[in-house]
Amino acid sequence: MPADLNEKTDRYEGMLADALAAAEVAVPSATPLGDAAAEIREMVLSYLEDGRHFREHGDPVNALAAVSYGYGWLDAGVRMGLFAVPDGTDLFTVD
């Protein structure tokens, strides 16, 4: 049986918020890579805020899409080495 859309949206929003809190910039801030990390973090935060806005206005489909897209941005930044994450976390696709 598929997950309830509202439950899934809430779960993914929480996962994104936890992932954003866990990810720390791993490159020097005064460099092009540091700029890229800052832009990704800003993008992720914007998608998280958009998701919350959509959910508050009764649009769980766009809320889920926004938080999922934000998670993809953050996970890509982690995979590229722009962010460091705690060992053993299951919030990201890297080991």
DSSP states of 17-68? HHHHHH-EE-S-TTSHHHHHHHHHHHHHHHHHHHHHHHHHTT-HHHHHHHHH
Q: What amino acid is encoded at 63 in this protein?
A: A
| CATH superfamily of the 5-84 domain | AF1782-like (1.20.1270.90)
Domain boundaries along the sequence of the chain: 5-84
Per-residue pLDDT for 8 more than 80?
A: yes
Residues 48 and 1: their CA atoms lie apart, in Å, by 27
Read off the pLDDT of residues 67-89 as tens digits, 9 standing for 90 and up.
999 999 999 999 999 999 888 77
**pLDDT band, residue 1 (cuts 50/70/90):** very low
CB 64 within 8 A of CB 51: yes
Mean pLDDT, residues 13-29 taken together: 94
Q: Which residues contact 78 (CB under 8 A, 6 or more apart)?
A: 23, 85, 92, 93, 94
Mean pLDDT, residues 46-54 taken together: 98
Read off the pLDDT of residues 52-67 as tens digits, 9 standing for 90 and up.
999 999 999 999 999 9
Q: Return the higher-pLDDT residue of 66 and 3.
A: 66
